[in-house]
């Protein structure tokens, strides 16, 4: 059975003190709670990964990176490799976030390289994609999403999909307060599962967790998560408050 996952993307927020405080709040708030087949992941900034990992040690909370470089090592000033992430004990990395695509020019082709490097190093990839508002308005959202997934992931063999989590994040819903309706999320998630099934097989597609992201909050999480093909969420703003993030985790139970 595929896992449910609630992942918090902290983006470029929180210094080391704030990161530890938030992690401590999550550890305390989740202690003793039964999480029915639900994984909890947080993705702090690179510099705070180790500090948050120390706080999370022994708890249910997993720590992931928000990005990584595709090369192993070398003259890439300011960059961080997959090996560096695994060397501090990380098991997952977020790739393809719309902010990386938009502000840092990450293309599908580059993301395919990053995915390969992550998988080669044993990292799970939380792969983000989603259409912009114009695509949704013009009815191109399905073809845009299909291209993003096939360009970056459909070269993988079936076995590699055990380490892929998909995160559908309509760009028009990220940080805008405007959420996709639960029906829009379900419609797209079912479409995604179908294209994965068509490319590989139904059994493989049934095992892939597909998260929704974009203004997911305690108030709307339950409805979105109630949909059959929505296996959790990638949470930005609401992941920065322990109380809200925990409420979202509870909404999936």
Whole-number minimum distance, CB 83 to ligand PGA, in Å?
Answer: 25
HSE, CB side, 13 Å, CA atoms: give it for residue 196. Answer: 30
The stretch near ligand PGA (CB under 6 A) out of 30-38, 82-90, 130-138, 209-217 is: 209-217
SS (H, E, C) 113-145: HHHHHHHHCCCEEEEEECCCHHHHHCCCHHHHH
Question: In the annotation, is 71 catalytic?
Answer: no
Answer whether 118's CB lies under 8 Å from 71's CB.
no
The stretch near ligand PGA (CB under 6 A) out of 12-20, 75-83, 139-147, 210-218 is: 210-218
Q: Does 184 bind ligand PGA (CB under 6 A)?
A: no
CB closer to ligand PGA, 89 vs 175: 175
The stretch near ligand PGA (CB under 6 A) out of 12-20, 183-191, 214-222, 245-253 is: 214-222
Q: Does 126 bind ligand PGA (CB under 6 A)?
A: no
Residue from 67, 92, 209, 215 touching ligand PGA (CB under 6 A): that is 215
Q: Of these residues, 62, 99, 124, 169, which one is catalytic?
A: 169
Question: In the annotation, is 97 catalytic?
Answer: yes
CB closer to ligand PGA, 121 vs 179: 179
Residue from 5, 6, 9, 61 touching ligand PGA (CB under 6 A): that is 9
Q: Of these residues, 69, 97, 141, 189, which one is catalytic?
A: 97
Whole-number minimum distance, CB 183 to ligand PGA, in Å?
Answer: 19
Q: How many residues bind ligand PGA (CB under 6 A)?
A: 13
Q: Does 213 bind ligand PGA (CB under 6 A)?
A: yes
Instruction: Give the pairing of strands 92-95 and 232-235.
Output: unpaired
Residue from 236, 242, 245, 252 touching ligand PGA (CB under 6 A): that is 236
Whole-number minimum distance, CB 128 to ligand PGA, in Å?
Answer: 7
Q: Does 235 bind ligand PGA (CB under 6 A)?
A: yes
Catalytically annotated residues: 97, 169
Tell me which residues touch ligand PGA (CB under 6 A): 9, 169, 174-175, 213-216, 234-238
């Amino acid at each position: 059975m595929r896992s449910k996952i609630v992942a918090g993307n902290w983006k470029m927020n929180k210094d080391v003190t704030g990161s530890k405080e938030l992690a401590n709040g999550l550890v305390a708030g989740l202690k003793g709670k039964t999480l029915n087949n639900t994984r909890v992941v947080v993705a702090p900034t690179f510099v705070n990964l180790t500090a948050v990992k120390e706080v999370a040690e022994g708890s249910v909370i997993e720590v992931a990176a928000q990005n990584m470089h595709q090369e192993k090592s070398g003259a890439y000033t300011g960059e961080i490799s997959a090996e560096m992430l695994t060397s501090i004990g990380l098991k997952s990395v977020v790739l393809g976030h719309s902010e990386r695509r938009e502000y840092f020019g990450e293309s599908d082709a580059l993301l395919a390289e990053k995915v390969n490097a992550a998988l080669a190093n044993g990292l799970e990839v939380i792969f983000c994609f989603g259409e912009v508002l114009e695509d949704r308005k013009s009815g191109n959202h399905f073809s845009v999403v299909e291209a993003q997934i096939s360009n970056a992931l459909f070269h993988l063999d079936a076995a590699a999909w055990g380490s892929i989590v998909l995160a559908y994040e309509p760009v028009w819903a990220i940080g805008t307060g405007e959420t996709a309706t639960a029906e829009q999320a379900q419609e797209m998630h079912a479409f995604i599962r179908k294209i994965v099934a068509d490319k590989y097989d139904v059994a493989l597609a049934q095992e892939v967790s597909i998260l929704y992201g974009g203004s997911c909050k305690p108030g709307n999480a339950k409805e979105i998560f109630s949909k059959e093909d929505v296996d959790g969420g990638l949470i930005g703003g609401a992941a920065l408050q322990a109380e809200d993030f925990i409420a979202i985790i509870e909404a999936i139970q």
